[in-house]
């Protein structure tokens, strides 16, 4: 595990250094720029959706057996309005606990 | 700018480098201060979840020092805990961090005026937040000394808060029962990060397609579902953008 973490650390540093270290003045090539723009939404979507619609490994949207989906919908609505990590964590966790307790 | 420099007395010119350094550093640190409201809870969540996972508190704290990229660290903790093969963990975390190429390219013209040592050390501090505040400030200043210290101030403020928050999370995490479901805070953090990047139609499509494919591919071996989803999502975003141009 430590080896994996060190590899990720070195790789991350190299992506940060990349253009600063190698090119100085050179611009990012256009063919690379376009896909890079969609890495963030694609990766985040691919992390969030499975975690909320199938937290136990099977697809489940029912609040009684998977309160996380409904809690995430509520947190998502709040996130659109405020975009504040602390607020969204508080609302999402609160919703999860209340749903857990109610159902 | 030239006019301004010429107007300074010789005494002021001598003082200039030191003032640049002090002003730049504190301006940079001050610019990221409001962002710390978001960074600190994120670091706490990371520490809490790392402590409660197979990764453990010690390595959890080390990721903040070695990787220093929140989203990649959370993905690493989550995947290792889910039993994903380490090779896939490394590849996925690096995919999450590939956006740094973009930041590096945007910063390169500004950093090219910095001393060599800064050009090697400062990229370690290149995070989403340090990038965002610095690139904005760089539009209105052309002084390399000020730029360098501005970035250093912003970067170090974020770095130190991140380390402290992670350690605090690990310490707290050891005392928090599993039944509270705090691991749910991870997708919540990502949900907030998702909002600004889905404001365009291709961005939204990349996220939706990436998410759906990751769900469909969740049975893929070695925990590759996330990487497959991300790849198809990026493709969907690029194609949508191309179609929009016609």
Check whether residue A14 and residue A64 sit in a common domain.
no
Is the pTM higher than 0.80? The answer reads no
Residues from chain B that touch A45, judged by Cβ atoms under 8 A, are 194, 206-211, 214, 229, 233
Check whether residue A30 and residue A48 sit in a common domain.
no
What is the DSSP track for B104-139?
A: HHHHHHHHTTS-HHHHHHGGGG--HHHHHHHHHHHT
Interface contact flag, A45 B218, Cβ < 8 Å? no
- Kindly state whether A71 is in contact with chain B, defined as any CB-CB distance less than 8 angstroms: yes
Interface contact flag, B190 A68, Cβ < 8 Å? no
Check whether residue A56 and residue A90 sit in a common domain.
yes
Secondary structure (3-state) at B83: coil
- Position A26 scores a pLDDT of 62
Check whether residue A61 and residue A89 sit in a common domain.
yes
- Kindly state whether A98 is in contact with chain B, defined as any CB-CB distance less than 8 angstroms: no
- Position B164 scores a pLDDT of 97
- Kindly state whether A90 is in contact with chain B, defined as any CB-CB distance less than 8 angstroms: no
Provide the terminal-to-terminal Cα distance of chain B, rounded to the nearest Å: 42
Check whether residue A48 and residue A33 sit in a common domain.
no
- pLDDT single digits (tens) B133-174: 898 889 888 899 999 999 999 999 999 999 999 999 999 987
The interface pTM score, or ipTM, of the predicted complex is 0.86
Locate B98 and state its tokens. 């590939």
- Position B246 scores a pLDDT of 65
Which residues touch B239 (CB under 8 Å, ≥6 apart)? Answer: none
Check whether residue A30 and residue A72 sit in a common domain.
no
Q: Mean pLDDT lowest for which of B52-66, B157-171, B189-203? A: B189-203
- Residues of chain A short of pLDDT 70, as ranges, are 23-28
- Kindly state whether A101 is in contact with chain B, defined as any CB-CB distance less than 8 angstroms: no
Count the alpha carbons within 13 Å of B39 in the hemisphere toward its beta carbon.
23
- Kindly state whether A23 is in contact with chain B, defined as any CB-CB distance less than 8 angstroms: yes
- pLDDT single digits (tens) B177-189: 777 777 788 788 8
Residues from chain A that touch B204, judged by Cβ atoms under 8 A, are 41
The rounded mean pLDDT for chain B is 86
Residue B237 confidence class, pLDDT cut points 50, 70, 90: very high
Q: Mean pLDDT lowest for which of B70-79, B177-186, B226-235? A: B177-186
Check whether residue A11 and residue A46 sit in a common domain.
no
Tokens 């953008």 correspond to what residue? B241
Query: How many domains is chain A partitioned into structurally?
Result: 2
- Position B11 scores a pLDDT of 43
Check whether residue A31 and residue A50 sit in a common domain.
no
Quote the CA–CA distance of B51 and B174 in Å, as a whole number: 6
Check whether residue A51 and residue A81 sit in a common domain.
yes
Q: Which of B75, B61, B36 is nearest to B156 (CA)?
A: B36
Count CB-CB contacts under 10 A for residue B180: 15
- Position A92 scores a pLDDT of 94
Interface contact flag, B90 A7, Cβ < 8 Å? yes
- Position B9 scores a pLDDT of 40
Q: What distance in Å separates residue B49's CA from the closest CA in chain A?
A: 14
Enclosing domain of residue A97: 41-103
Cβ burial, residue B3 (10 Å; 0-12/13-18/19+): exposed
Q: Give the length of chain B.
A: 246
Residues from chain A that touch B119, judged by Cβ atoms under 8 A, are 20-21
- Position A27 scores a pLDDT of 67
Quote the CA–CA distance of B71 and B162 in Å, as a whole number: 12
**B233 vs A41, A51, A79: nearest CB:** A41
Q: Which of B104, B72, B164, B97 is nearest to A5 (CA)?
A: B72
Locate B16 and state its tokens. 């200039």
Asked if residues B31 and B133 have their Cβ atoms less than 8 Å apart, the reply is yes
Interface contact flag, B108 A19, Cβ < 8 Å? yes
The percentage of residues in chain B with a pLDDT greater than 70, rounded to a whole number, is: 92
A52 alpha carbon, distance to own chain's centre: 11
Residues from chain A that touch B55, judged by Cβ atoms under 8 A, are 1
Locate A6 and state its tokens. 């060190």
Over residues B96-105, the mean pLDDT reads 85
Check whether residue A22 and residue A57 sit in a common domain.
no
The rounded mean pLDDT for chain A is 89
Check whether residue A58 and residue A87 sit in a common domain.
yes
How does DSSP classify residue B177? Answer: -
Provide the terminal-to-terminal Cα distance of chain A, rounded to the nearest Å: 38
Task: Tell me the three-class secondary structure of chain A, residue by residue.
Answer: CHHHHHHHHHHHHHHHHHHHHHCCCCCCCHHHHHHHHCHHHHHHHHHHHHHHHCCCCCCCCCCCCCHHHHHHHHHHHHHHHHCCHHHHHHHHHHHHHHHHHHC
How does DSSP classify residue B85? Answer: -
- Position B5 scores a pLDDT of 41
Is the pLDDT higher at B165 or at B42? B165
**pLDDT over threshold 90, residue B69:** yes
Tokens 């690493």 correspond to what residue? B76
Q: What share of chain B is helix, strand, coil (3-state, %, to 5)?
A: 85, 0, 15
Count CB-CB contacts under 10 A for residue A32: 13
- Position A97 scores a pLDDT of 93
Check whether residue A59 and residue A102 sit in a common domain.
yes
A39 alpha carbon, distance to own chain's centre: 11
- Position B4 scores a pLDDT of 41
């Amino acid at each position: 595990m430590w080896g994996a973490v060190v590899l990720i650390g070195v790789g991350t540093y190299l992506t940060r250094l990349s253009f600063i270290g190698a090119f100085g003045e050179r611009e990012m090539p256009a063919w690379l720029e376009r896909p890079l723009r969609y890495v963030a939404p694609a990766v985040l979507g691919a992390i969030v959706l499975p975690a909320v619609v199938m937290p136990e490994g099977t697809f489940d949207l029912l609040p009684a057996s998977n309160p996380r989906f409904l809690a995430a919908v509520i947190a998502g609505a709040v996130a659109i309005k405020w975009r504040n990590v602390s607020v969204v964590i508080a609302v999402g966790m609160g919703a999860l606990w209340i749903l857990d307790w109610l159902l | 700018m030239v006019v301004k420099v010429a107007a300074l007395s010789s005494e002021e010119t001598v003082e200039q480098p030191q003032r640049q350094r002090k002003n730049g550093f504190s301006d940079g640190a001050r610019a990221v201060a409001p962002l710390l409201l978001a960074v600190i809870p994120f670091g706490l969540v990371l520490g809490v979840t790392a402590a409660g996972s197979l990764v453990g508190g010690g390595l959890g704290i080390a990721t903040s020092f070695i990787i220093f990229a929140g989203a990649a660290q959370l993905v690493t903790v989550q995947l290792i805990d889910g039993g994903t093969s380490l090779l896939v963990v490394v590849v996925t975390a690096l995919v999450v961090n590939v956006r740094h190429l973009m930041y590096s390219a945007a910063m390169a013209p500004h950093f090219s005026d910095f001393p060599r040592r800064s050009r090697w050390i400062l990229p370690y501090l290149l995070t989403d937040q340090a990038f965002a505040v610095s690139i904005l400030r760089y539009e209105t200043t052309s002084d390399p000394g000020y730029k360098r210290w501005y970035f250093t101030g912003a970067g170090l403020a974020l770095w130190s808060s991140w380390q402290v928050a992670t350690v605090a999370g690990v310490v707290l995490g050891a005392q928090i029962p599993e039944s509270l479901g705090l691991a749910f805070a991870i997708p919540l953090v990502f949900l907030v990060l998702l909002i600004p990047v889905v404001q365009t139609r291709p961005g939204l499509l990349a996220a939706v397609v990436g998410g759906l494919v990751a769900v469909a591919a969740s049975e893929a071996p070695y925990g590759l579902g996330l990487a497959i989803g991300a790849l198809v999502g990026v493709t969907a975003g690029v194609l949508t953008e191309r179609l929009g141009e016609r």
